[in-house]
Amino acid sequence: MYRLIVDRCLQPHPDGDLFGWRGALPYLRLSTYNRQTKPEPGEAGAGTAGALQWLFASQDGREIEKRFRKEILSTASGLTGPGKSKQRLFRWLIGELRARGYQRRGEWPFNVEKLGYVTICAFIDRVLAENPRRQLLLLGGEDARRKAIAGDGTGRPHLEPFDRVECDAHKLDARMVVAFPSIHGGFELRKIPRLFVIVLEDVASRAVLGYHLSLRRECSAQDVLRAIKSSLSLWSRRKLQFSENAYSENAGLPSGVFDHLRGVCWNEISVDGAMANICHRVESTLKEVVGCRVLKPQSADSFTSRRSKDDRPFIESFFGNLAAGGFHRLAPTTGSRPADKRGGANPAVVADETAFQLEYAEELLDTLIANYNATPHSSLGYRTPLEQLQFRVPPSHPVRRADAHAVSRMVGVRKLCTVLGGVESGRRPYFNFSNARYSAEWLALRTDLIGKNLWLQIENEDDARFATVSDKKGLFLGVIRAAPPWHQTPHSLFIREATRALERRRLLHLSTRCDAVEELIRYAETHGGKLPAHPAYLEARRILTSQSQALALPALHVEPPSEQIFEQQIKSTCTTPTRPAVKPAMRSSRDLPKAKTW
């Protein structure tokens, strides 16, 4: 009994604990086999138990074992990639032993069949098992390593609606075209490189609160703020051109279905480590307008690392439904993998043949998201996300709402600028801001402001022609307007930056007598041949279309408002009237009109 307890039960186990009562199990081997004599294989190959251990215990074997372990755990071991074979490691060890004379002396493993392949492979598996993190990286790749970091979900907190919101971007797996008016008449179809959709989803109810379709090649902080603004603004159904009954009966977003949930703030937002999500502009806006904190990857409240689907599982599941139930069913889809293409066809060619335009994707995306909110969910007791919100957040439930005026200008830009000018030279006071000069009639009389730093803010992110001026204490001073050629057509700062970049490359010429946005549109429509559409052109197209729909006016040239009118609109938080535009018709390539609409 004494030997049973001391020599077996109190011995250390490989798992780091003692054997305990496990050591009392009959016929349980506590220690590994240690060979004491040189292996001498018989006629049938017997007598070589522990031969590799005997080899590594020799003077040369210790160095070989150390180098062999290092080779097993290296990325060049051959265990990574599609093959994942141990042949390279086996050949490496055999080569080392052959170079040291083992084959010449006829020692193990050169005196047995298969050169000890089974024993060497078992040693490789044991080394990998001793280093589980490295094993995950070598055998499963980076995705398996990140997935192993995540917990099993038992530590997740119990969340109420609007306690936590998940935000992420998803690339649409489809090829689309945009119709460019041709100088020869009619239209030309240009391919769009790729589009991203940024979505905000409530964790407790699985309801999508808002989204934004980014027309740029990469998502920016402004795109993230637009998605947040969409979640806090009123949603309404689109007037669809491809169908009259695409929306289901109860489809919609919470802000458009329930009046008491319009502009409701949340407490936490979970994002990945992309700079567009965690930059100072986004964090400060969320703190000031929404009053929430940002959960970054590898923080105390996060569950895994960046770019892992297990850190934001609910929105990743939504993206899977969005792809499988929507864009992957289209003819010009690229799929998540090359094998997902429809019939092996080229999506770019299919997009040209079917003339699947950008406007179709915008309307399809809105209907898919609205219908998702009205689809029963298994984890909600087969309630829809909207029904779950209505059940858990009734009209009498207290909620925290964002200020409507703060939401309307949350995407705008605010910067501390110096008033320039000179009394002696007769130059009227002005600002230099974002590749444009700003001034106004009231500012021309305020020579006392020259040299002072004032806050300049663009209220409407889609109309950078006008900006408000206030001092450091927050006192409103007035409205200023951009000088030519930026004073006519509404535009964003991204359009202005892209236009200036083309001007520096001598691709277009800007003067005070022209309209810079019209020059950009003219350049995009007359140059480049079959090149993809310029992101700035798509942005200008979106702004002009939205302004035209907001005004509901015919496509006639309208003079932009004066500074006095715009100042009154800023104070009353009304939408700025802008120049309307015609939305390109969505129709087949055979029926495209032969007249220029821009």
Please tell me the distance from the alpha carbon of residue 307 to that of residue 319, in angstroms, as a whole number. Answer: 14
How confident is the model at residue 590, as a pLDDT?
32
Please tell me the distance from the alpha carbon of residue 232 to that of residue 286, in angstroms, as a whole number. Answer: 12
Please tell me the distance from the alpha carbon of residue 580 to that of residue 598, in angstroms, as a whole number. Answer: 11
Tokens representing 124 are 């490789």
How confident is the model at residue 183, as a pLDDT?
64
Please tell me the distance from the alpha carbon of residue 252 to that of residue 260, in angstroms, as a whole number. Answer: 15
How confident is the model at residue 559, as a pLDDT?
43
| Measured CA angle at 480 (ends 479, 483), to 5 deg | 160
What is the percent of the chain with per-residue pLDDT over 90, rounded to a whole number?
38
Domain annotation for the chain: domains and CATH numbers? 1-31 (no CATH), 35-149 (no CATH), 164-408 (3.30.420.10), 413-591 (no CATH)
Name the 3-class secondary structure at 436: strand
How confident is the model at residue 596, as a pLDDT?
33
Phi, psi for residue 401 in degrees, rounded to 5: -110, 150
For the full predicted model, state whether its pTM sits above 0.85: no
Query: Residues near 426 by Cβ (< 8 Å), separated by ≥ 6?
Result: none
CB 374 within 8 A of CB 251: yes
CA proximity to 418, closest of 472, 364, 360:
472
| Distance set, CA 214 to CA 171, 206, 246, 535 (Å) | 10, 23, 23, 10
Please tell me the distance from the alpha carbon of residue 472 to that of residue 192, in angstroms, as a whole number. Answer: 43
CA proximity to 534, closest of 215, 196, 170, 218:
215
Please tell me the distance from the alpha carbon of residue 181 to that of residue 582, in angstroms, as a whole number. Answer: 12
* In 28-79, alpha helices (H): 51-57, 59-72
Per-10-residue mean pLDDT of the chain, 598 residues long, equals 92 89 90 82 78 88 92 82 79 92 90 90 91 86 74 76 93 82 72 86 95 89 93 92 85 94 93 85 92 74 53 87 84 70 67 79 92 93 94 92 90 90 84 92 90 91 92 91 92 91 87 88 74 81 79 44 48 38 36 34
